[in-house]
Amino acid sequence: MFSMDKKGFPFRCRVFTLFFMFASFIIPCLEPEVRESPGKLSRVHRELSGVENCAGCHTAKGKIAPSKCLDCHKELALRISAGKGYHKEKGKDCAACHQEHNGENYPLVQWNIEEFDHRETGYLLTGAHRKGTACDSCHTPANSPARENSKSFFLKDNRCSACHKDVHNGSQPDCTDCHTTKDWSVDIW
């Protein structure tokens, strides 16, 4: 029959239990491309560090699923589904532009401001907006969604009054009735 240990468990059960415990530690090591991080995450994603969190962003074999990115970046997901904003046609491959695992100080957004085509955002810069207006003039922390570890270029409000003082105190709801972006002054006489 079966040989028993002091507590009455069959010896075979002990062997199988030890084998499965051993295998559960060894088998994951046989697939290092799945179990080893290719590098440190950027500062903005550092809370996702650790191999136990890989599945939060990756599918099998290290592929990145945009749907997993958009699970966290909900505001961006809403804009993409509405067909609005810079990412409206770029939401199928986040990693093409936002490459991770390059270290804490690696910028996830890399673009040349001089070559950036603001028309892709759905908000055409014309007149005085286009001439020497720094991005930070409109894209301020006060007019952007709050973020802990990074800057957002989304605007909460793209109306004129978000950047310009409303000297009419709301009595003129549409600034473009009198003003253009070519020149803020009005000559109505």
Which among 94, 163, 83 is positioned nearest to 120, based on CA atoms? Answer: 83
Spatial distance between the Cα atoms of 171 and 145, rounded to a whole number of angstroms: 28
Residues 114 and 146 in one domain: yes
- 61, pLDDT greater than 80: no
Residues 131 and 55 in one domain: yes
- How high is the pLDDT of residue 103? 93
Residue 139 domain-assigned? yes
Residues 45 and 90 in one domain: yes
Quick: pLDDT tens for 172-189: 888 888 888 887 676 554
Residues 141 and 53 in one domain: yes
Confidence of residue 35 (pLDDT cuts 50, 70, 90): low
- 23, pLDDT greater than 60: no
Q: Which range marks the domain in which residue 151 is found?
A: 39-155
- How high is the pLDDT of residue 189? 45
Summary mean pLDDT of the chain: 79
Quick: pLDDT tens for 67-122: 999 999 998 999 999 999 899 988 889 988 899 999 999 988 888 888 888 999 88
Residues 134 and 90 in one domain: yes
Residues 96 and 135 in one domain: yes
Confidence of residue 27 (pLDDT cuts 50, 70, 90): very low
Residues 69 and 141 in one domain: yes
- How high is the pLDDT of residue 60? 77
Residue 71 domain-assigned? yes
Spatial distance between the Cα atoms of 43 and 50, rounded to a whole number of angstroms: 14
- 29, pLDDT greater than 70: no
- How high is the pLDDT of residue 33? 47
